[in-house]
């Protein structure tokens, strides 16, 4: 494994050049030219180490090393090949490179595994070109519907279907059976947060992906002249907003991990220095690894904000437009990853993922778990996205050991 340092850097550099833009970022969007170059380049790489490759109908790429004893049992690893617009050099693609290097090392070192090993480069996860995310993994498990994207167009008006067909792909044939050979899926990904960095660990073993609820909340009061309207005659929407936000965040702070609560977006009307705001529309994003606790906490917040609105004479409309359930990872696979880290002498952290990943789709169907490597300053979806190479290497080593246990041991 002494070559990993160089191999990780070389492969990340090679893949990052495909879709790189002058700002140092990468834009490689579903079915665009860079996406096609990357998938075909990966296909060659996979074949170069003796894997047999296939694309499925929608453009997910698989590189397979058939097992000797249990060829019908597949251990899969990989991630998504697409980026956000002006994204970084690790989100998604590091998971493909790491799986490729791990399988390459295992094959070179131990030869044919007992179970089949597959590297996957998934077509799409970010939802950056078209308004649809997890197109790759959702197609593998039959969760993507033709009607979801049939009328979708990108920012330039290019229809989803046109882009897909021009890339040589098409809708999944719904008569095809879904795969029942996958016995484990392991995805390695950057953390996209700052927990590992803060606690000084190189690897995280993910035991759950948070559920998230997103709200749009509208507070309606009365826009009034800032000078001529006494305080007691006001129905000030920003006052209601400020009470709701401060009180809710205090409660989230009191709850502590794994509760996170974010008021990221706000729009004020008329948003003028000398007018009391008559209307405030704002977002609330709440996440937790436990569905019951997530619902319980957001119910408390909803009750609080209704009470605040009533006290201040404001009308309130609460619209919960996203309610994604938490996804626990497979305990057995988590244990394999933990044991692998221990055997490699890695000081890992058992943790949850606060962001969504392809693993949350896989986990609904097959035993799944994830590894994290640290994100410097927690930055991602940004050209400044970075991880120390030594940490990337530790991640690859943990993955090697995990895949060995899953594919080479009885």
Task: Give the integer Cα–Cα distance in Å for 363 and 345.
Answer: 27
Q: Which residue of 1, 85, 161, 245 would you call a contact of its own copies, by CB under 8 A?
A: 245
Q: Is 153 in the site for its own copies (CB under 8 A)?
A: no
Quote the tokens at residue 230: 């006494």
Minimum separation from the CB atom of position 326 to its own copies (A): 12
Q: Which residue of 1, 17, 318, 355 would you call a contact of its own copies, by CB under 8 A?
A: 355
Q: Which residue has the tokens 């990468």?
A: 26
109 dihedral zone (left: phi>0; alpha: psi -120 to 50; beta): alpha
Q: Is 17 in the site for its own copies (CB under 8 A)?
A: no
Biggest alpha carbon–alpha carbon distance for the chain: 84
**Residue 230, burial from CB neighbour count under 10 angstroms (0-12, 13-18, 19+):** exposed
Q: Is 374 in the site for its own copies (CB under 8 A)?
A: no
Q: Which residue of 23, 151, 274, 292 would you call a contact of its own copies, by CB under 8 A?
A: 274
Q: Is 161 in the site for its own copies (CB under 8 A)?
A: no
Listing DSSP states for 201-237 in one string gives -SEEEEEEE-EEEEEEEEEE---EETTTS-GGG---H
Nearest to 17 by CA among 27, 32, 29, 8: 27
Minimum separation from the CB atom of position 300 to its own copies (A): 16
**Which of 86, 339 has the CB closer to its own copies?**
86
Listing DSSP states for 145-176 in one string gives -HHHHTT-B-TT--BHHHHHHHTT-----TTS
Q: Is 273 in the site for its own copies (CB under 8 A)?
A: yes
Q: Is 20 in the site for its own copies (CB under 8 A)?
A: no
CA distances from 43 to 48, 53, 94, 135 (A): 8, 6, 16, 19
User: What is the Cα gyration radius of the chain?
Assistant: 24
**Which of 156, 228 has the CB closer to its own copies?**
228
Residues numbered 376 to 405 that lie near its own copies (CB under 8 A) are: 378, 380-381
Q: Is 264 in the site for its own copies (CB under 8 A)?
A: yes
Residues numbered 284 to 343 that lie near its own copies (CB under 8 A) are: 285, 287
Q: Is 158 in the site for its own copies (CB under 8 A)?
A: no
Strand residue runs (E) in 61-174: 61-65, 70-80, 115-122
**Which of 176, 257 has the CB closer to its own copies?**
257
Minimum separation from the CB atom of position 142 to its own copies (A): 26
Q: Is 69 in the site for its own copies (CB under 8 A)?
A: no
Q: Which segment (41-49, 235-243, 332-340, 363-371) binds its own copies by CB under 8 A? A: 235-243
- Strands 70-80 and 115-122 come out as parallel
Q: Is 25 in the site for its own copies (CB under 8 A)?
A: no
Q: Which residue of 17, 37, 266, 320 would you call a contact of its own copies, by CB under 8 A?
A: 266
Number of residues in contact with its own copies under rule CB under 8 A: 62
Residues numbered 79 to 138 that lie near its own copies (CB under 8 A) are: none
Nearest to 299 by CA among 320, 325, 269, 271: 320
The reply, when asked if residue 189 is annotated as ligand binding, is yes
Task: Give the integer Cα–Cα distance in Å for 401 and 363.
Answer: 21
The reply, when asked if residue 214 is annotated as ligand binding, is yes
Q: Which segment (106-114, 118-126, 219-227, 298-306) binds its own copies by CB under 8 A? A: 219-227
Contact 151, 108 (CB under 8 A): no
Contact 74, 370 (CB under 8 A): no
Q: Which residue of 275, 315, 318, 320 would you call a contact of its own copies, by CB under 8 A?
A: 275
Neighbours of 213 (CB within 10 A): 21
**Which of 37, 266 has the CB closer to its own copies?**
266
- Contact string 177-206 vs its own copies (x = CB under 8 A): --------------xxxxx--x--------
| Binding site per annotation, positions for allantoate | 214, 274, 287
Site residues (CB under 8 A) for its own copies?
Answer: 191-195, 198, 210, 212, 214, 224-233, 236, 238-239, 241-246, 249, 252-253, 255-266, 268, 270-277, 283, 285, 287, 353-356, 378, 380-381
């Amino acid at each position: 494994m002494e070559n990993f340092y160089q191999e990780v850097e070389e492969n990340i550099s090679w893949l990052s050049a495909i879709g790189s833009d002058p700002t140092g970022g990468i834009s490689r969007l579903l079915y665009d030219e860079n996406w096609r170059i990357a998938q075909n380049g990966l296909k060659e790489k996979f074949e170069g180490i003796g894997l047999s490759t296939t694309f499925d109908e929608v453009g997910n790429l698989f590189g397979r090393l058939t097992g000797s004893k249990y060829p019908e049992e597949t251990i899969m690893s990989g991630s998504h090949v697409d980026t956000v617009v002006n994204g970084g050099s690790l989100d998604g693609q590091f998971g493909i490179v790491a799986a490729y290097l791990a399988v390459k090392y295992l094959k070179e070192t131990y030869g044919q595994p007992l179970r089949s090993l597959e590297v996957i480069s998934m077509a799409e996860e970010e939802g950056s070109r078209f308004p649809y995310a997890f197109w790759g993994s959702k197609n593998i498990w039959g969760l993507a519907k033709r009607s979801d994207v049939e009328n979708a167009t990108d920012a330039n008006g290019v229809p989803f279907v046109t882009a897909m067909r021009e890339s040589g792909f098409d809708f999944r044939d719904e008569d095809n059976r879904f795969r029942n050979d996958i016995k484990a899926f392991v995805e390695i990904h950057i953390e996209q947060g700052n927990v590992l960095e803060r606690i000084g660990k190189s690897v995280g073993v993910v035991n759950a992906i948070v559920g998230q609820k997103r709200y749009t909340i509208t507070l309606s009061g009365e826009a009034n002249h800032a000078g001529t309207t006494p305080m007691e005659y006001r129905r000030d929407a920003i006052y209601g907003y400020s009470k709701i936000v401060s009180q809710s965040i205090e409660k989230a702070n009191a709850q502590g991990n794994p509760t996170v609560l974010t008021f990221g977006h706000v729009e004020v009307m008329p948003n003028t220095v000398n007018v009391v705001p008559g209307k405030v529309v704002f977002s609330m994003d709440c996440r937790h690894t436990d569905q019951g606790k997530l619902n319980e906490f957001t119910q408390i917040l909803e009750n609080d904000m209704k009470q605040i609105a009533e006290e201040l004479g404001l009308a309130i409309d609460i619209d919960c437009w996203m309610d994604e359930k938490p996804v626990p990872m497979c305990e057995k696979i988590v244990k394999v990853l933990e044991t692998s880290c221990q055997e490699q002498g890695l000081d890992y952290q058992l943790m949850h993922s606060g962001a969504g990943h392809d693993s949350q789709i896989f986990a609904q169907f097959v035993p799944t778990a994830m590894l994290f490597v640290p994100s410097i300053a927690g930055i991602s979806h940004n050209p400044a996205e970075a991880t120390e190479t030594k940490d990337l290497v530790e991640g690859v080593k943990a993955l090697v050991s995990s895949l060995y246990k899953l594919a080479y041991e009885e």
